[in-house]
């Protein structure tokens, strides 16, 4: 009876079709995938045909063991099998040039659809100038470089791209109009996330996209560059940083009328001249939004506007939800929430008290320190 049961279990495992095995393994990281070889002889070589690779240094005790593993898995993988998704994350200080070259070769695979790379590299080793793909739909890049941020090209050939997340990049202008415009070539871009990037030569960042629906911007707390929007179909807007940017495009037309959901977080040490009035002007431009998430710190700055209560405020008539995030170190100015909702009396007002852990994490994020994406990385 025992023998029959063992044989039965073994037969069930060995009888699984490769397509099902690959589907199961696609949900595991690369280290776990290779470890499945001990389960059955059938699984010995299945991982070599896996269309998904997830390589994370946090799964290894030493940098050497991680790099050796990556080198082996890249060399042993079946090159005839198309790679559809590559997720490479390293918390170590630097990636060896030969290993980075091998990783980038996979990143430039002709059928790749999803690419996520987060690692520390030297500037001269990381270049996107020759990068092009007709299949890539999702791109998430976070090259942590101590000396200088890499330059994000103004015109990448990524016609299928719908999701783009950039961390620690420089933008530059290739024209004399004073604008860096790196996103207009992405005709299908739906979601754009920009974390701690910088614009060179005192230029403004022009975010120009007809297809863009979701935008998230997080600036360094001392960042001084301005951005302008030319996004007629933008629906969701998240901003964290100093509010001194112009939300109107350089054609002077407002681009905020389509925005329905807004989330604004100001650093707790914000002391930029004219910030309150500029922030108030943002709310005026977001006149048709339906939901607003705002920090108590942000409300405190609005409260600095002289004679705010005397201002005629015929806006926010479509508001359905106002979320106010607060914590024990801050307070909500009396009546300011009701002031914002005076033309939407049926809107719901929710007060959320942030935990100390969340508050500290946000303060660390504002300084631009990277965190392990598997342990509370920013999501959108």
192-215: pLDDT as tens digits: 999 988 888 878 888 989 999 999
**pTM: predicted TM-score of the whole model, two decimal places:** 0.86
Q: What is the pLDDT of residue 378?
A: 33
Residue 374, pLDDT above cutoff 50: no
CB distance 146 to 168 below 8 Å: no
Count of other CB atoms within 10 angstroms of residue 244 = 15
Residue 293, pLDDT above cutoff 90: yes
Q: What is the pLDDT of residue 134?
A: 92
Q: What is the pLDDT of residue 377?
A: 36
Question: 190 or 367: whose pLDDT is higher?
Answer: 190
Instruction: Enumerate the domain spans of the chain.
Output: 1-48
SS (H, E, C) 128-171: CCCCECCCCCEEEEEEECCCCCCECCCCCECCCCCEEEEECCEE
Report the chain's mean pLDDT, rounded to a whole number: 81
Q: What is the pLDDT of residue 294?
A: 92
Q: What is the pLDDT of residue 349?
A: 93
pLDDT digits (tens, 9 = 90+) for 339-355: 999 999 899 999 998 77
Residue 30, pLDDT above cutoff 60: yes
Per-residue pLDDT, averaged over 87-114, amounts to 82
Q: What is the pLDDT of residue 123?
A: 58
The mean-pLDDT minimum among 69-83, 206-220, 261-275 falls in 261-275
Q: What angle, rounded to 10 degrees, do the helices at 63-76 and 97-107 form?
A: 40
Residue 379, pLDDT above cutoff 50: no
Residue 223, pLDDT above cutoff 80: no
d(CA 324, CA 349): 8
């Amino acid at each position: 009876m025992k023998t029959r049961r063992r044989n039965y279990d073994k037969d069930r495992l060995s009888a699984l079709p490769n397509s099902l095995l690959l589907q199961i393994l696609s949900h595991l990281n690369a280290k776990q995938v290779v470890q499945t070889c001990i389960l059955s002889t059938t699984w010995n070589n299945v991982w070599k045909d896996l269309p998904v690779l997830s390589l994370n240094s946090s799964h290894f005790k030493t940098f050497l063991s991680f790099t050796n593993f990556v080198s082996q898995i890249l060399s042993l993988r079946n090159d005839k099998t198309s790679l559809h998704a590559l997720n490479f994350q390293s918390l170590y200080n630097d990636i060896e040039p030969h290993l980075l070259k091998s990783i980038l070769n996979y990143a430039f695979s002709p059928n790749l659809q999803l690419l996520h790379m987060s690692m520390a590299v030297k500037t001269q080793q990381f270049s996107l100038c020759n990068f092009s793909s007709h299949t890539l739909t999702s791109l998430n890049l976070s090259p942590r470089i101590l000396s200088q941020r890499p330059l994000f090209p103004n015109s990448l050939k990524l016609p299928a791209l719908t999701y783009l997340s950039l961390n620690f990049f420089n933008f530059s202008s290739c024209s004399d109009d004073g604008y860096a415009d790196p996103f207009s070539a992405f005709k299908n871009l739906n979601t754009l996330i920009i974390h701690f990037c910088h614009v060179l030569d005192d230029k403004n960042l022009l975010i120009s996209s007809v297809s863009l629906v979701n935008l998230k911007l997080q600036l360094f707390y001392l960042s001084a560059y301005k951005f302008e929007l030319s996004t007629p179909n933008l629906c969701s807007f998240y901003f964290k940083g100093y509010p001194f940017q112009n939300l109107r495009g350089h054609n002077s037309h407002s681009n905020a009328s389509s925005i329905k959901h807004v989330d604004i977080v100001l650093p707790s040490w914000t002391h930029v001249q004219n910030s309150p009035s500029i922030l108030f002007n943002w709310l005026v431009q977001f006149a048709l939004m339906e939901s607003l998430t705002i920090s108590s710190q942000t409300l405190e700055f609005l409260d600095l506007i002289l004679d705010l209560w005397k201002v005629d405020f015929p806006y926010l008539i479509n508001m359905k939800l106002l979320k106010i995030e607060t914590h024990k170190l801050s307070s909500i100015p009396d009546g300011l929430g009701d002031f914002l909702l005076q033309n939407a009396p049926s809107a719901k007002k929710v007060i959320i008290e942030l935990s100390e852990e969340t508050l500290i994490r946000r303060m660390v994020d504002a300084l631009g320190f990277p965190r392990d994406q598997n342990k509370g990385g920013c999501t959108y």
